[in-house]
Amino acid sequence: MDRSEKISTILKTLPEVPGIYQYLDADGKVIYVGKAKNLKNRVSSYFNKIQYENRKTQVLVKNIADILFIVVNNEMESLLLENTLIKKYQPRYNVLLKDDKSFPWICIKKEPFPRIFPTRKKIKDGSEYFGPYTSVKTMRAVLDLIKQLYQIRSCNLKLSQENIQAGKFKVCLEYHIGNCKGPCEAKQTEADYLEMIQQIRSILKGKVNDVANHFKNIMHELSASFKFEEAQQIKDKLDYLEKFKNKNVVVHPDIDDVDVFSVESDTKFAYVNFLKISSGAIVQGHTIELKKKMDEPDEELLLMGMVELRNIFASNSKEIILPFEVDLEIPNVKITPATGR
């Protein structure tokens, strides 16, 4: 069976469902990965055209010797799978994602009395990772805020209840200068420590207002009990928290937990921009560069960049704002064009 007969047979068997298609050359190498709402219509369209506006598309079609396809349940699955396969095979005719940086994260270690520290490696041991941070300076500012607000241990001791009860540890200088509450000698309960960790999680998720309200309630309770010195200490923490909040760009106080994307492109490259908004302020932002191969439209580039950025930042925001309407549905996620909000 020659090439044309083989392709013709494959086209007849393609289902009219959403999926991913892969074009292979004569050597069996994947040269293009695409997604489709209707596999049969989309793939057939490549072979029905007599002339192509883009010469690279014409060259691609001439090099197709075989076609593989994978059926998926919905469009979001096709976007995710397309992204994965492009990274795996790096096909010659696909957009090239050029963002390969190793970003820093803030880790809350899975252990008794969890430590909090920066890292560039994510280990699958149950620990929590927040970020990534595109600026080390920004990450350091967050860690400094945590240090100013909470007395989190910095030692590497194995603080199991058995070790603590056996009296294996002694408090160090960090305890004496007020940076730690001494859980190693049972001077702080694990429940009290984990309450601090919970508040820190809120900060790392951008929920700074929740933490501020918590401190305000404590301050009012202390003042009502005439514990003015302790109330002043809480007020100092609130002031520090307020300064940190003011450094973030405020967009709108009513916008919360939203991902915002935009795209700019020229003849060779596209740039997809990302902003995460929480409690009305921008808490994360990044831009990735995509190298165009076949004059891809902005919508395709935007969606590819969106999937990659939401994956990088582990975002599960329930609303996404895009610069224009796109033909896409994501389960349990509201997609809003910027002009329609």
pLDDT band at residue 248 using 50, 70 and 90 as cut-offs:
low
Q: Are 88 and 141 part of one and the same domain?
A: no
How far apart (Å, rounded) are the C-alpha atoms in residues 260 and 274? 6
Q: Which stretch of 96-105, 158-167, 216-225 has the lowest confidence by average pLDDT?
A: 96-105
Q: What is the mean pLDDT of residues 129-138?
A: 82
- Based on the domain organization, do 80 and 158 belong to the same domain? no
Phi and psi torsions of 262, nearest 5°:
-145, 165
**Residue range 301-313, pLDDT digits in tens:** 999 999 999 988 8
Among 10-24, 119-133, 150-164, 172-186, whose mean pLDDT is lowest? 119-133
Nearest CA to 183 out of 114, 105, 259 is that of: 114
Q: Are residues 188 and 201 in the same domain?
A: yes
For residues 202-226, give the mean pLDDT. 86
The verdict on residue 276 lying in a domain is yes
Counting Cβ atoms within 10 Å, is residue 341 exposed (0-12), middle (13-18) or buried (19+)?
Answer: exposed
Q: Are 248 and 157 contacting, i.e. CB atoms less than 8 angstroms apart?
A: no
Among 54, 76, 94, give the residue marking a domain's end: 94
- Beta-carbon contacts of 311 under 8 Å, excluding residues fewer than 6 positions away, are 80, 83
pTM for the model: 0.66
pLDDT of residue 115: 96
- In this predicted model, what pLDDT tens digit does every residue of 279-302 receive, in sequence order? 777 778 888 889 988 888 899 999
Domain-located, residue 126: yes
Do 269 and 223 share a structural domain?
Answer: no
Checking if the pLDDT of 278 tops 60, the result is: yes
Assign residue 7 the CATH number of its domain: 3.40.1440.10
Residue 172: helix, strand or coil by DSSP? Answer: coil
Query: Chain-centre distance of CA 199, in angstroms?
Result: 21
Same domain assignment for residues 29 and 59: yes
Q: Which residues are paired to 294 by β-bridges?
A: none
Q: Are residues 56 and 89 in the same domain?
A: yes
Q: How confident is the model at residue 277 (pLDDT cuts 50, 70, 90)?
A: confident
Q: Does one domain contain both 294 and 217?
A: no
CATH number at residue 308: 3.10.20
- Answer yes or no: do 276 and 228 share one domain: no
Q: Model confidence over 66-104: pLDDT tens digits?
A: 999 999 988 888 888 998 999 899 999 998 876 556 788
Cis peptide before 132 (omega within 30 of 0): yes
Determine the average pLDDT of the residues in 110-118.
95
What pLDDT is attached to residue 64? 94
Give me the residues paired with residue 72 across strands: none
Mean pLDDT of 233-253: 74
Q: How do beta strands 319-322 and 258-265 pair?
A: parallel
Q: Of 62, 77, 94, which one is at a domain's C-terminal end?
A: 94
- Domain closes at, from 247, 276, 302: 247
The whole-number pLDDT of residue 50 equals 61
Beta bridge partners of 116: 108
In a domain, 219, yes or no: yes
Whether 16 and 76 share a structural domain: yes
Higher pLDDT, 273 or 295: 273
Domain around 227 = 207-247
pLDDT of residue 250: 57
Q: Do the domain assignments include residue 44? A: yes
For position 1, what pLDDT does the model report?
63
Q: Are residues 200 and 211 in the same domain?
A: no
User: Is 282 within the bounds of a domain?
Assistant: yes
CB atoms within 10 A of CB 332: 6
Domain annotation covers residue 104: yes
Q: Is residue 252 part of a domain?
A: no
Number of domains forming the structure of the chain: 4
The enclosing H or E element of 23 equals strand 19-24
Shared domain check, 155 and 108: yes
Report, as an integer, the average pLDDT of 167-187.
Answer: 94
Same domain, 134 and 81: no
Q: Is the pLDDT of residue 131 over 60?
A: yes
Asked if residue 220 belongs to a domain, the reply is: yes
